[in-house]
Structure 1
Amino acid sequence: MRKKEQSNLIAPSSRRFTLPKSHILRGRRNFERIFGSRNYILTDSINARFVEFDSDPREYKVGFIASKKLGNAIQRSRCKRLLREAYRLNRHLLSEELQRAEKSMHIVFSTRVNGLDFATVENDMVTLLTKLRSRLLSSNKNEL
């Protein structure tokens, strides 16, 4: 077997486009807490529900949901895969601000429409992340 060659494409050192498992939201209690809160932002194709809280170890986790109303398992998996990829490429819009704000946040993204293309999902994801960022900034100003 040959050794794996290093890619010629190197991401800028300041920003890595990764989504580690430690940033994925898991557990029934966490999802119940999010759906119990009334904080949400909508776009044409994606919902974002979130909850902000203060905890000593700063947590920033995301989850991805596709309702059974969207179709069979193949279609739901594709929707979640598109959401994850769009978030992974654009998470820097929100994660850097959360680190500065020293807040903990859990977010769940869910699709509202089936059969979307990646460009639409990515555009809506950027819109959601910028709205979440502005809401986070406004809540920080209110606390000062």
Structure 2
Amino acid sequence: MREKELSNLTGSGSHRFTLPKSHILSGRRNFEELFSGSSLIKNKDVNLRYATYPDAGRNLLVGFIAPKKIGNAVHRNRTKRLLREAYRLNQHIITDLPEFTDIGLHYAFLAKRTTLSFETVQSQVVELLTELRERVSANRSPL
């Protein structure tokens, strides 16, 4: 493998740009828990639902949702691919913070429409992750 290809696999600096299956939120019960007792951060085209748990064993898990009302399967799958890629490249905003090691955090990105460019999705995902980091950090700070 060429050196350039190796650097793409390992990422730049200390960030590793992978999204393993073990970090993906799945299962009906997990999504029901997320939607029943969660908070919402709204944005123009993408929303973020999140729930924190005091149990560190629940880890950081992320889901990607494109509801049926926004189009056929082709459009929904493309939208979820865009969301996954934008998150994969910017997950360090959340995962690199030390205060997230002793809590469980489940969150899901919800697309509101399908006619999105990657640049739009990426900028909104960064905004949502930054807001999530601020909210969770504020809730965890001692009074």
- TM-score normalized by structure 2? 0.90
Q: Deviations over 1:81-130 (max 9, x none)?
A: 00000000000001122x43421100011101121000000000000000
Is the partner of 1:107 in helix, strand or coil?
A: strand
For 2:51 and 2:114, how far apart are their aligned partners in 1? 26
Show the counterpart of 1:75. Answer: 75
For 2:115 and 2:57, how far apart are their aligned partners in 1? 38
Aligned residue runs from structure 1 range 22-101, under 5 A: 22-97=22-97, 99-101=98-100
Q: Deviations over 1:3-41 (max 9, x none)?
A: xx2451412351111101000001111000011024010
Cα 1:131–1:82 change in 2 (3 A) is same
For 2:87 and 2:124, how far apart are their aligned partners in 1? 10
Show the counterpart of 2:121. Answer: 121
For 1:28 and 1:136, how far apart are their aligned partners in 2? 24
The alignment of Structure 1 onto Structure 2 pairs a total of residues equal to 138
Q: Deviations over 1:49-79 (max 9, x none)?
A: 0110011425100000101011110000000
1:17 and 2:17 correspond? yes
Q: Where do 5+ consecutive residues of structure 1 fail to align?
A: none
Identity %: 43
Tell me if the contact between 2:26 and 2:63 (Cα under 8 Å) persists in the aligned partners: yes
Pairwise CA RMSD of aligned residues? 1.4
- TM-score normalized by structure 1? 0.90
More displaced, 113-122 or 52-61?
A: 52-61
For 2:112 and 2:24, how far apart are their aligned partners in 1? 20
Q: Which amino acid aligns with 1:109?
A: F
Tell me if the contact between 2:99 and 2:137 (Cα under 8 Å) persists in the aligned partners: no
Runs of 4+ aligned structure 1 residues displaced above 2 Å come to none
Greater Cα radius of gyration, structure 1 or 2: 1
